[in-house]
Amino acid sequence: MPRTRKPIKVKEPIRLRTKELANGSKSLYLDIYRNGKRTYEYLKMYLIPETDRNARQQNETTMAAAN
């Protein structure tokens, strides 16, 4: 019985990640893996807690700008 192959997972050298802050909002940063070294670049963009429609809209525009 032949062995089934797993699909190859593509590794991304740069990922957009979030970090939870003490005031409840989230900070956006880039997680960069290059030449065996990991570095972080903070974007100074923040997602606020989604309590109302305006906050949700602001988070959507922030994520669109970060991507």
What number of other Cβ atoms are within 10 A of residue 37's Cβ? 7
Mind listing the pLDDT tens digit for each residue in 32-52? 998 889 999 999 999 999 999
Q: If you search the block for the tokens 């602001």, which residue do you land on?
A: 58
Mind listing the pLDDT tens digit for each residue in 5-28? 888 777 779 999 999 999 999 999
Domain spans of the chain, in order of start: 14-66
- In 3D space, the residue among 59, 61, 27, 58 whose CA is nearest the CA of residue 43 turns out to be 27
pTM over 0.85: no
Long-range contacts of 25-28 (CB under 8 A, 24+ apart): 25/49, 28/62, 28/63, 28/66
